[in-house]
Structure 1
């Protein structure tokens, strides 16, 4: 027979067991009846940064890449198409718009440039007074676009590397300016010139490492005795070791050299994913060069084209990326829509640029030289007198000119927009006035109003001596070397017409007048 204490202990055990069973039952029931995970908001599509869309046919068959890199180079000072004819290609505005389209598609994209950003001479043999300011505007624009790095080469050196780097890199850490085989970089150009950079790319899990070196071929073209170079056979392995400490996933070399030299480097350094090199032609190949798993690309001259490299992770250590390449011609399909012009950062840069030309009076910075006709005779120095001085004796030719577009050339600069103020740009004014850059030629609308527009003396030279003494036959051949000779043969005529055509193309060149044909343009103004 159990004692009272034993029964009490047994009851307590049973009660505890029941409580435990009940608790477990309740817990299990609660687990079974728990609500499912609360669904988060659906992944929102990327915010569109522009209403522009990718043109039909570009990036055909591409899925969204894990990384996209826009490649450019050899801009040679071309900021924007001048707008004198259509269609024109290239320009920083359109390059920016392409990047915005890719970002609007959700692509993780960055950009690099192989260098030769500035022009190394002025147009039409003028002094290069705008080379430095145009370099700064271009670099500031690439900063606006989110460029990762820019190299430098022969064109930058022609402007003097100390001056060029002080103009932008001294006060701007991005895009980083790279040239890894320049000796004594840190002492010559402290915090201005670097060897490499490793950086994450927005919206990508990948880190891009980019470095730059200058080839032996280009080194020989750089005449500055202060600039010395390390042997690339030593520099490239050293730079790669330094860069690896930052653990890049994708490795890019900006190579200031030609494709044949880049092929050798790709074979020697198999860890490189991409080499951006120089192009030896205006129009680049749409097909990249492949050496093993390395892609070698170039994008031509004057910024008319850019490249886009897409990278997709494969998950394989021996071949971590699948790579594709698309060459993009920056045509009118990338022009800024009217309702997006107001806040467009590159267009704002261009307006600031022409305002600076006006404010700093860049027209006056062009030191005039003597026209060839002003050197022809020791006892006479003709000056420019304006087209109205020709009217009395050459009324028929004057009437033809007056009805032509030449007679309104200056007005087109005043009226043009995006940017405006082109009448203060020496590189525009030289082909829209009479004698700019020569002694007694156009200086400004206020000082020389009679020399506005493209007039008689734009082609025939300064006419004061001929006006003063029309019968002085010395000036006939000087002022009209294109006059047909008596009994001219067909061969002589062809040579004369070719010389006229070539003279016209000093302004009507392939960049400014894309549809120029002498045999179509000459008849309406023939005189």
Structure 2
């Protein structure tokens, strides 16, 4: 019997030790935002960061370790008030719901989508919308909170985190001023902090503002334990700083990084152990749920036929696109050379990845998209698919009518429209030009002096 009781005592003792050092005493806050419509890396080059799929995997990794991960969105889901951005907002909110995101802080880009769309999103989503220093004058009711007091699940004692929110007045401009009034952040935060004192074990401020404004707020309120801020910081790795003992950091833009704050619960209190900016690279595998969501997004773009329905600009002086095959009628050697370059496969790279209905991608993989007579969709004018002659040289309609007129001079600036830093960061003009430079060819019966090309 004594051996039996000794065994029971040993088991209880071991379980207590295990519990004391277990991951249930730990939780992380994960912040992301300023996606500006970036649901996933575009795929233009290897090594791209970000995307909802990798973010979901990061959250699931913590869950697998038994660590509570609380996801928070800090604002600016979209970048402009077009229909495609509205669709993106719908899918980003759906992704956030799947990830268990507890709140979305409103940024100035979110307001630009329009109060009607934003009101609908706030009324139909379970995610709390937050903004602590604004007043909205609109016939469309926006459902949002000044702050959120969130109880942490899974702990033996009640623990609460207060999430506060402000937006900088400097970010609300133009037509937004017609229906949004922004109040001084310090004056808005003072009564809230006084109200939650004694109720919150940790106070977190989501400051949708430049870093210098957030520093001033942190200096004013030492009660704040963490500030997520730094509006418009492209590379957030070096953004971490401290005001007294309060960490301030940014997650950067376009969803390429997340800010992670790690905490342990000891003796009934919350203690920060680390803060970090984590790049969402290919270390994080694709999430199956998010991949399904991304396919649904592309399907929505196809069903709405945004390619055909987007407004189209007229070309100057009645010019029009003709397609590379028409160019090849006279420039046979050049056309044959082009047919063996990567430019001739540009549209195929989109169709192979299911992105051929995405207006943001299609413009750099076809000829003349966004212009009258330019590419509208593959069914209508497949002769304008891929990066063709007119992508570099300009519309050729007037040239084939009068081949003696000056036409088609190219330079590096034309390349940079698509080979920019976001899509082609390793672009070097001499190197890339060498890959696609075609032989010189004057049509039969013409000379350099009479041919305008």
Query: Is the partner of 2:134 in helix, strand or coil?
Result: coil
Query: Is the partner of 1:424 in helix, strand or coil?
Result: coil
| Aligned twin of 2:251 | 299
Tell me the matched-pair count. Answer: 430
Tell me if 1:505 matches 2:407.
no
1:163, distance to aligned residue in structure 2 (A): 2.1
1:401, distance to aligned residue in structure 2 (A): 0.9
Tell me if 1:259 matches 2:211.
yes
Q: How far apart are the structure 1 equivalents of 2:64 and 2:77? A: 27
Which runs of structure 2 are paired with 1:75-474 in the superposition (5 Å)?
75-120=35-80, 128-166=82-120, 168-174=121-127, 176-183=128-135, 190=141, 192-204=143-155, 206-220=159-173, 223-244=176-197, 247-286=199-238, 288-313=240-265, 315=267, 321-336=271-286, 344-370=288-314, 374-375=315-316, 377=317, 381-416=318-353, 420=354, 422-471=355-404, 473=405
CA contact (8 A) 1:109 1:202 kept: no
Query: Is the partner of 2:124 in helix, strand or coil?
Result: coil
1:516, distance to aligned residue in structure 2 (A): 2.1
Q: How far apart are the structure 1 equivalents of 2:4 and 2:397? A: 103
Deviations 1:198-222 (A, max 9, x none): 2233445532221211123223466
TM-score normalised per structure 2: 0.87
Query: Is the partner of 1:183 in helix, strand or coil?
Result: strand
Q: How far apart are the structure 1 equivalents of 2:6 and 2:140? A: 64
1:322, distance to aligned residue in structure 2 (A): 3.3
CA contact (8 A) 1:112 1:149 kept: yes
Q: Unpaired segments of 5 or more residues in structure 1?
A: 1-29, 44-62, 122-127, 483-499
Change (3 A) 1:389 1:523: same
Deviations 1:13-33 (A, max 9, x none): xxxxxxxxxxxxxxxxx9999
RMSD (Å), alpha carbons? 2.8
Which structure shows the higher strand fraction? Answer: 2
Change (3 A) 1:189 1:173: farther
CA contact (8 A) 2:208 2:231 kept: no
Q: Unpaired segments of 5 or more residues in structure 2?
A: 16-22, 439-453
Deviations 1:212-245 (A, max 9, x none): 1112322346634111123323211222244458
Change (3 A) 1:101 1:501: farther
CA contact (8 A) 1:65 1:310 kept: no
Change (3 A) 1:220 1:392: closer
Query: Is the partner of 1:481 in helix, strand or coil?
Result: coil
CA contact (8 A) 1:200 1:208 kept: yes
